[in-house]
Amino acid sequence: MEIIKINTNEKLSIDSSNPTRYLGYPRKVPLWKLEFILPKHCDLVRGKENSDISFEIENSKGIAFVPSLSNKEAEFRLKKMFPELLKVTNCART
């Protein structure tokens, strides 16, 4: 697990490096699109357990694609990746 300090005003885009969680057989896990707000400076906790999450951040606003069984689990997984998350503004299944 790696903790990285990021400036959320600058553009940051990270693709998922482990998409098998939502493409796997026999059960496909739904993919959720979450829009969220972060403070200007925050920590990004990236590790093997959340390597299937892709996101883009710019001007303290972000969009993430999170594979999970429910929207509550998607928000929980996002909050583990961004512990200082201020607010999830939208969560929809894609």
Q: Where are the domains of the chain?
A: 2-93
Burial (Cβ within 10 Å: 0-12, 13-18, ≥19) of residue 33: middle
Residue 44: count of CB within 10 angstroms of its CB: 20
* Average pLDDT across the chain, whole number: 90
Express the helix, strand and coil content of the chain in percent, nearest 5 each: 20, 45, 35
The predicted model scores a pTM of: 0.88
The per-residue pLDDT for 63 is 97
Q: For the segment 31-62, what is each residue's pLDDT rounded down to a tens digit?
A: 899 999 999 999 999 998 898 999 999 999 99
